[in-house]
Amino acid sequence: GNSVTQMEGPVTLSEEAFLTINCTYTATGYPSLFWYVQYPGEGLQLLLKATKADDKGSNKGFEATYRKETTSFHLEKGSVQVSDSAVYFCALSSGIKAAGNKLTFGGGTRVLVKP
């Protein structure tokens, strides 16, 4: 079956530091890949996505590239802010219509940015 593995947290950084959160996946076929973020006291929200190999998703200064050869979708941001403190989830959908919107999530990585 499908699975997603992401680095465990917490990750503690200073403001303006570079952030990388590793994510690797196991899936058959051609999955779509996502990063969702959960800010304190809020619901999960989509941060970015990529639907095919070599696609780069980007939003709010975050980027992730769909690497089929390494089955990875690492999240990066060049200069984090305190407001980026949140829990980040990597996820995939199988791309098979019968599976609907079934997302397989990683365990989440908590990021804390200190001023």
Partner 1 sequence: ETGVTQSPTHLIKTRGQQVTLRCSSQSGHNTVSWYQQALGQGPQFIFQYYREEENGRGNFPPRFSGLQFPNYSSELNVNALELDDSALYLCASSLGENTGELFFGEGSRLTVL
Residues that bind partner 1 (CB under 8 A): 4, 32, 34, 36, 41-46, 49, 89, 91, 93, 97-108
- Burial class of residue 51, CB neighbours in 10 A (0-12, 13-18, 19+): middle
Q: Which is nearer to partner 1, 98 or 115 (CB)?
A: 98
Task: Give the nearest distance from C-beta 53 to partner 1 in angstroms.
Answer: 16
Q: Which is nearer to partner 1, 18 or 30 (CB)?
A: 30
Task: Give the nearest distance from C-beta 33 to partner 1 in angstroms.
Answer: 9
Written as one letter, the residue type at 113 is: V
- Of 101, 91, 96, 88, the C-alpha closest to 49 is 91
Q: What angle do CA 67, 57, 82 make, to 5 degrees?
A: 115
d(CA 21, CA 41): 22
Task: Give the nearest distance from C-beta 16 to partner 1 in angstroms.
Answer: 29
Q: Which is nearer to partner 1, 17 or 72 (CB)?
A: 72
